[in-house]
Structure 1
Amino acid sequence: MSGSNSSVPPGSAPAAPEPVALTVHSLAGPELGQGGAADGSRTRIGRLKMLLVLLVCASPVIASYFTYFVIRPEGRTNYSELILPTRSLPADLNLRTLEGTPVTARSLHGQWLLMAVGPAACDAACEKRLFMQRQLREMLGRERDRLDKVWIVTDEQPLTPQLREALGGAVPVTVLRADAAAVARWLAPEAGRRIDEHLYVVDPMGEWMMRAPVDPEPSRVKRDLDKVLRASSFWDKAGR
């Protein structure tokens, strides 16, 4: 007992205990402004990476077109007319089968397309173009599986049974209806001609890139097709 009071002088009251002091330390962390700047930087980096990926994916197409359109050896000529810049297959064509089933424009991607355009009442000139379309594909030999035949019908009239039968065969023509005005905003004839007087070439990316002349020489159109197929052989393969 004496040991517990030895520090208190006799006759003095015990000293009051000192209050406990607490010190609060703030935790380290990014300030609001710094966090916003960091988010903005990450967004810019993400967009840059996305653009680089798109560029890498598109580079084979760009390279083949550059080779075909720009790097031309002496004496090299094209019979068909090249379309520069190319025109993308629009989504508003309102494509549908002859029975009326909707077809997406995207479903035509993945193959080279040799396209004819015109009304369902196919006259003698139309029948000649459709026959040439079939013959041109067969003339490509082992490369023919990289090209599809497509006929865009620009009205609502029915096809005759005879024409339907002629469009069949081992490799039938893909026949689709589309709005005439929408087709005319995409494809275009040469000056003074109608849109249904040509054959049109569309690449696997859905880009209209070449137009055959009116009443063309099949062998010369075939050489043009050989050129574009050869230029794209390292990135385009047969089949969708």
Structure 2
Amino acid sequence: MSTQSPHSTHTAQVSRNAAQPGGAPSAPAAQPKGSWRRGRWMLFLIALICGAPIAISYFTYYVIKPKGGSTSYGTLIEPQRTIPSSLMVTGDDGREVPLASLRGRWLMISVDGGACDEACVHKLYFMRQVRATQGAERERVVTLWLRSDDANVPAVVRSAYPDTRMLRADGAAVAAWLPATDTTKDTDHIYLVDPNGNLMMRFPDHPDPSKIKQDVTKLLKWSSIG
């Protein structure tokens, strides 16, 4: 029986190591492709879950628009009408500014003469109540009375609606912007303008304020603007 000397064993081991490039140990095995693909899918699913609420809100507001008489109480104005750049309004301080300068919040607009008859008072009351019922969101809504003449506002009306902006505007210019129906006038309606300055909705004459409230609540929920 032959024996192998320690020197020969050491020489053989050195030869096997030298057969590898640089004499270094072999590199670890590459990560399986399946694991890499699972990681990519996991990142995709996380991004999808995080972005879904934003995508749904934009799709609901800009694509599934409410239609008058079906999913909303108010009539959607199509196409939307931007506040005319030439439409000026004047406050009690006598300062004249473009109505478009009020963009940035939702505007609920009523139009009437300064004397403010019973129908005028009802609209102001409805707008105030609809805004108040929005809770913490009410600061996103501005109630606006466009006065179509220079008549003095009764003191009792002014004191009852201190949060309503009361601005004078040219009646003809306002009527040209705010659409009515074949049987109504702009003074019969409450209108809604979005924070981008687009006239988007008209509520019926003799409206139901609880239904106006539902429409406004939905719009504030669906949209993050304003």
Same fold (TM over 0.5): yes
Cα drift, residue 218 of structure 1: 1.3
Please tell me whether residue 126 in structure 1 is matched to residue 151 in structure 2.
no
Runs of 5+ in structure 1 lacking a partner? 1-60
Please tell me whether residue 94 in structure 1 is matched to residue 85 in structure 2.
no
Instruction: Name the SS of the counterpart of 1:103 in structure 2.
Output: strand
Please tell me whether residue 230 in structure 1 is matched to residue 225 in structure 2.
no
Cα drift, residue 64 of structure 1: 5.7
Structure 1 equivalent of residue 4 of structure 2: none
Identity %: 38
Cα drift, residue 100 of structure 1: 2.0
Structure 2 equivalent of residue 136 of structure 1: 130
Cα drift, residue 231 of structure 1: 1.8
Per-residue CA deviations over 1:101-124 (Å, capped at 9, x if unaligned) read 112223210000111111111111
Q: Which has the higher strand share?
A: 2
Per-residue CA deviations over 1:207-236 (Å, capped at 9, x if unaligned) read 000011111111111111112112212xx1
Structure 2 equivalent of residue 114 of structure 1: 108
CA distance in 2, matches of 1:67, 1:112: 20
Structure 2 equivalent of residue 188 of structure 1: 179
Please tell me whether residue 206 in structure 1 is matched to residue 197 in structure 2.
yes
CA distance 1:62–1:118, shift in 2 (3 Å) = farther
Instruction: Check the 8 A contact 2:86/2:98 in 1, yes or no.
Output: no
Count, aligned residues: 171
CA distance in 2, matches of 1:204, 1:64: 17
CA distance 1:206–1:64, shift in 2 (3 Å) = farther
Instruction: Name the SS of the counterpart of 1:189 in structure 2.
Output: coil
CA distance in 2, matches of 1:202, 1:63: 20
Amino acid at match of 1:84: E
Runs of 5+ in structure 2 lacking a partner? 1-56
CA distance in 2, matches of 1:68, 1:101: 40
Per-residue CA deviations over 1:177-210 (Å, capped at 9, x if unaligned) read 1111110111021220121111100000110000
Structure 2 equivalent of residue 42 of structure 1: none
Q: 1:104 aligns with which of 87, 98, 117?
A: 98
CA distance in 2, matches of 1:205, 1:199: 18
CA distance in 1, matches of 2:185, 2:113: 12
Structure 1 segments of 4+ aligned residues over 3 angstroms from their partners: 61-65
Instruction: Check the 8 A contact 1:64/1:232 in 2, yes or no.
Output: no
CA distance in 1, matches of 2:175, 2:75: 17
CA distance 1:98–1:68, shift in 2 (3 Å) = farther
Cα drift, residue 65 of structure 1: 4.0
CA distance in 2, matches of 1:188, 1:118: 15
Please tell me whether residue 157 in structure 1 is matched to residue 148 in structure 2.
no
Per-residue CA deviations over 1:129-152 (Å, capped at 9, x if unaligned) read 101110000111121111111000
Amino acid at match of 2:151: Q
**Aligned-residue CA RMSD in angstroms?**
2.4
CA distance 1:229–1:68, shift in 2 (3 Å) = farther
CA distance in 1, matches of 2:218, 2:83: 22
TM-score normalised per structure 2: 0.69
CA distance in 2, matches of 1:109, 1:93: 13
